[in-house]
């Protein structure tokens, strides 16, 4: 699929004799040739394909990775730079969440964007709809080994907007379950091979947490209550019941009250009835409770694997978030590469960007060490990844995830997650009934739906 009127393949630049696309347009315009005619001449000439080893370009790359992710990303960037000495990579790390996405949108709208950037895939449709992104050229991607068959069908489909490919997925990062091996052994929850016995259904799961709690004397399971994690739990459970939050176009609230209250009732049971989970705890507190052995299970994103690996006294393992209701789903998102809209594309720089993305995909075993499931199937299907434990234990979840609904206020680090957390933590703390919590959340969504997109 060709999505630009020009080839995205690079041309070798001899600085003494060659010129970029932008320079060409500037010079032809100065000679009195209109921009339309200049573009036609440029497109008629075409651009020859260049071997990756011949590329010479400067590219800027924005991302939002901190902590362990940031360390691994820098490691991968350094490896790329060493193997591609003619491509100068300028990497900029910005604050996670709303500050990052605001700055990215402003840069694209203002004509001063980076050449390539990272986005959560749930954010991409809104950016694409606002014409803030360039779509990818499938023919040019194929030249660097990026083709549809290298990705799971569901994630490749989500990478499109209006039948155009706007993002290249780097990973899937799902909501998962951690467990303390020693505690679960004492509670009789492990099989003969030392792995957690399958937990499925509300009764079996709560029973397992109670048995584990008898061992810890503290908590059966720990998860953040005072933050956005309640949304991730709720959406995992609600999706298992077949529920949807917004219409496909992101303009209408379609929450099924019965299913939503069923999901919230199970969550509240954990904290206020069975009392196997602390009812008022923040993110750091939940991580610390599991890390110290005072909770047998932990519900969180897989990105905390690095934290627990570094605690040498902790023997833990990881499995997919459990199947509580009818059909398996777990809330997730993906980090992905995007092309912020360029006022004029330099084919040489664009070719270098595609080479960079390809390299990052092919070396994403390094990325997988931080817990994320590589999206590039040659990596996830390789024996090295399968031997990476406990990170590969939940790789199958990538085909069965539920991503946040599409709306300008949705996606990772969004106002939707904030409002869900604010409402649902009241239910978990026993201060709201499930109906009251759901009503507050629905009112917040209706208010957001009534507002125009800020971009």
**CATH architecture type of domain 175-332+395-450:** 3-Layer(aba) Sandwich (3.40)
**What are the residues facing 89 on neighbouring strands?**
59
Q: Give the separation between CA 143 and CA 242, rounded to whole angstroms.
A: 40
**What is the tens place of the pLDDT at every residue in 312-358?**
899 999 999 999 999 999 999 999 999 999 989 999 999 999 999 99
Residue 1 pLDDT greater than 90, yes or no: no
* Secondary structure of the chain in HEC code, one letter for each residue: CCCCCCCCCCCCCCCCCCCCHHHHHHHHHHCCCCHHHHHHHHHHHCCCCCCHHHCCEEEEEEECCCHHHHHHHHHHHHHHHHHCCCEEEEEEECCCCHHHHHHHHHHHHCCCCCCEEEEEHHHHHHHHHCCCEECCCHHHHHHCCCCHHHCCHHHHHHCEECCEECCEECEEEEEEEEEEHHHHHHCCCECCCCCECCCECHHHHHHHHHHHHHHHCCEEEECCCCCCHHHHHHHHHHHHCCCCCECCCCCCECCCHHHHHHHHHHHHHHHHHCCCCCCCCCHHHHHHHHHCCCEEEEEEEHHHHHHHHCCCCCCEEEEECCECCCCCCEEEECEEEEEECCCCCCHHHHHHHHHHHHHHHHCCHHHHCCCCEECCHHHHCCHHHHCCCCHHHHHHHHHCEECCCCCCCCCCCCHHHHHHHHHHHHHHCCCCCHHHHHHHHHHHHHHHHHCCCCC
Residue 51 pLDDT greater than 70, yes or no: no
Give Dmax over CA atoms of the chain in angstroms: 83
Residue 15 pLDDT greater than 50, yes or no: no
**Token pair of 230 as six digits:** 């309640």
Average pLDDT over all residues of the chain: 89
* pLDDT bracket for residue 98 (50, 70, 90): confident
**What is the tens place of the pLDDT at every residue in 144-194?**
999 999 999 999 999 999 999 999 999 999 999 999 999 999 999 999 999
Residue 450 pLDDT greater than 90, yes or no: yes
| Mean pLDDT to the nearest integer, 258-287 | 98
* pLDDT (0 to 100) of residue 234: 98
* pLDDT bracket for residue 56 (50, 70, 90): confident
**What is the tens place of the pLDDT at every residue in 409-435?**
999 989 999 999 999 999 999 999 999
Strands 171-180 and 316-320 turn out to be: antiparallel
Residue 44 pLDDT greater than 60, yes or no: no
* pLDDT (0 to 100) of residue 53: 56
**What is the tens place of the pLDDT at every residue in 367-387?**
999 999 999 999 999 999 999
User: What's the predicted TM-score (pTM) here?
Assistant: 0.87
Residue 196 pLDDT greater than 50, yes or no: yes
202-238 exposure pattern, b = at least 16 Cβ within 10 A, e = fewer:
beebbbbbebbbebbeebbbbbbbbbbbbbbbbbbbb
* pLDDT (0 to 100) of residue 27: 42
> Which residues make up the CATH 3.40.190.10 domain(s) of the chain?
21-166+335-374, 175-332+395-450
In CATH, which superfamily holds the domain spanning 21-166+335-374? Periplasmic binding protein-like II (3.40.190.10)
User: Which residue's structure tokens are 């993002």?
Assistant: 167
Residue 274 pLDDT greater than 50, yes or no: yes
Burial class (CB within 10 angstroms; exposed 0-12, middle 13-18, buried 19+) of 96: middle
* pLDDT (0 to 100) of residue 232: 98
* pLDDT (0 to 100) of residue 455: 64
């Amino acid at each position: 699929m060709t999505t630009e009127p020009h080839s995205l393949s690079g041309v070798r630049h001899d600085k003494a004799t060659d010129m970029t696309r932008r320079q060409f347009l500037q010079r032809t315009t100065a000679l009195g040739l209109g921009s339309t005619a200049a573009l036609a001449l440029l497109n008629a000439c075409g651009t020859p394909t260049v071997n990756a080893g011949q590329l010479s370009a400067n590219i800027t790359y924005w991302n939002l990775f901190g902590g362990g992710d940031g360390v691994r990303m820098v490691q991968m960037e350094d490896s790329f730079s060493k193997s591609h000495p003619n491509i100068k990579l300028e990497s900029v790390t910005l604050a996670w969440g709303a500050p990052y996405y605001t700055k990215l949108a402003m840069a694209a709208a203002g004509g001063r964007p980076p050449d390539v950037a990272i986005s959560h895939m749930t954010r991409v449709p809104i950016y694409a709809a606002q014409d803030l992104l360039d779509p990818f050229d499938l023919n040019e991607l194929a030249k660097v080994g990026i083709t549809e068959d290298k990705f799971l069908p569901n994630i490749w489909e989500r990478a499109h907007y209006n039948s155009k490919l706007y993002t290249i997925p780097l990973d899937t990062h799902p909501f998962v379950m951690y467990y303390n091996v020693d505690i679960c052994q004492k509670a009789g929850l492990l099989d003969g091979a030392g792995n957690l016995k399958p937990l499925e259904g509300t009764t079996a799961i709560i029973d397992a947490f109670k048995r584990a709690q008898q061992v810890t004397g503290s908590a059966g399971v720990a998860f953040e209550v005072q933050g956005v994690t309640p949304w991730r739990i709720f959406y995992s459970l609600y999706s298992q019941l077949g529920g949807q939050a917004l219409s496909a176009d992101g303009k209408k609230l379609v929450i099924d009250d019965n299913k939503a209250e069923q999901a919230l009732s199970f969550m509240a049971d954990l904290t206020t009835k069975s009392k196997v989970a602390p009812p008022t705890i923040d993110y750091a507190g939940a991580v610390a409770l599991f890390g110290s052995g005072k909770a047998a299970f932990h519900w969180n994103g897989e990105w905390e694997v690095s934290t627990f690996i570094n605690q040498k006294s902790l023997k833990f393992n990881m499995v997919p978030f459990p199947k509580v209701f009818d059909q398996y789903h777990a809330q997730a998102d993906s980090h992905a590469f995007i092309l912020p809209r360029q006022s004029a594309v330099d084919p040489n720089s664009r070719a270098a960007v595609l080479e960079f993305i390809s390299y990052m995909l092919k070396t994403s075993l390094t990325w997988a060490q931080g817990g994320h499931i590589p999206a590039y199937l040659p990596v996830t299907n390789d024996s090295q990844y399968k031997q990476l434990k406990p990170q590969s234990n939940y790789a199958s979840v990538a085909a069965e995830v539920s991503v946040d609904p599409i709306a300008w206020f949705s996606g990772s680090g969004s106002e939707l997650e904030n409002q869900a957390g604010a409402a649902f933590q009241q239910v978990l703390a026993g201060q709201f009934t499930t109906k009251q919590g759901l009503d507050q959340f629905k009112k917040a969504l209706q208010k957001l739906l009534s507002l125009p997109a800020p971009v």
